Amino acid sequence: MVEHQLKLVKEFKKMDKNSATLVKKLQSELEAYQNLQKSFGKLMKQRTILEGQLNENKIVFEELKLLGLENKVYKLYGPVLVKQDLEESRQNVGKRIEYISKELKRSNETLEGLEKDMIKHRETVQKLQQQYQVAAAMK
């Protein structure tokens, strides 16, 4: 009988250590998940800004297409408007559209990777929570 009680006490202590380990793992996973969420949020804001810039530049490009060679184009440099060649303006805006599009593509790929990582961490957190609940129920 005494041996059985000692065995139960050892198992209980062992469970406490396991519970503490589970709690540490759970906290670590939750922290990693929250960091991923923050990164995801920041990247979403950046993507929104890029989308706005892309749309704005597309509108400018369409307007530049409508202009003829007799029209004049000015570019704002600080407080000064400087005359710019129409073809040069079209090329610059086209390059900007190309650059922003590449940045958007890169941003979307990064978001997809973060989303996959978030799913993995969320699943791990759920498993650890279940393990902790089972361990707590056995006490």
Q: Has residue 69 got a pLDDT over 80?
A: yes
Q: Has residue 8 got a pLDDT over 90?
A: no
Does the residue 95 lie in any domain?
yes
Does the residue 1 lie in any domain?
no
CA atoms within 13 A on the CB side of 89: 23
- CATH number of the domain encompassing residue 135: 1.10.287.370
Q: Could you tell me what percent of the chain has a pLDDT over 70?
A: 86
Point out the least confidently predicted range of 9-13, 106-110, 130-134: 9-13
Q: Has residue 47 got a pLDDT over 90?
A: yes
How many of the other CB atoms lie within 10 Å of CB of 29?
20
pLDDT at 26: 82
Does the residue 116 lie in any domain?
yes
User: Would strands 73-77 and 80-84 be described as parallel, antiparallel, or unpaired?
Assistant: antiparallel
Q: Has residue 138 got a pLDDT over 90?
A: no
Q: Could you give the CA distance from residue 97 to residue 66 in angstroms, rounded to a whole number?
A: 17
Strands, DSSP E only, in the chain?
73-77, 80-84
What is the value of pTM for the model shown?
A: 0.74
Q: Has residue 101 got a pLDDT over 90?
A: yes
Does the residue 135 lie in any domain?
yes
Helix (H, G, I), strand (E, B) or coil at 137: helix
Mean pLDDT of the chain: 86
Does the residue 96 lie in any domain?
yes
Cβ 60 vs Cβ 91: under 8 Å: no
Domain ranges, residue 73: 52-139
Does the residue 11 lie in any domain?
no
Count how many domains the chain has: 1
Does the residue 18 lie in any domain?
no
Does the residue 2 lie in any domain?
no
